[in-house]
Amino acid sequence: MGAIGYGLGVIGAGIGIGLAAYGATSAIARQPEMQSRLFTVFILGSAFVEALALIGFVVTLIA
């Protein structure tokens, strides 16, 4: 049962990172001079999404 919950959590993380990458790519395409700032925000956002996925994995192992 826990594997199903973790699988759903990973799907959510994948969708989140995909949407963030799409947003960063289109923003960089519109304003190339903001690339360094947008990349930094994208990396931070991706790290938070991955952290949530790892927390879901740990909760799955504990429960």
Contacts 24+ apart (CB under 8 A), 43-47: 45/20, 46/17, 46/20, 46/21
pLDDT the model gives residue 62: 82
60 CB-near residues (< 8 Å, 6+ apart)? 2, 3, 5, 6, 9
Domains of the chain (ranges; CATH) run 2-62 (1.20.20.10)
Question: Residue for token digits 């199903």?
Answer: 4
pLDDT in tens, 4-58: 777 777 888 888 889 999 999 999 999 999 999 999 999 998 888 888 888 888 8
- 56 versus 2: which is more confidently predicted? 56
Q: What is the pTM of this model?
A: 0.73
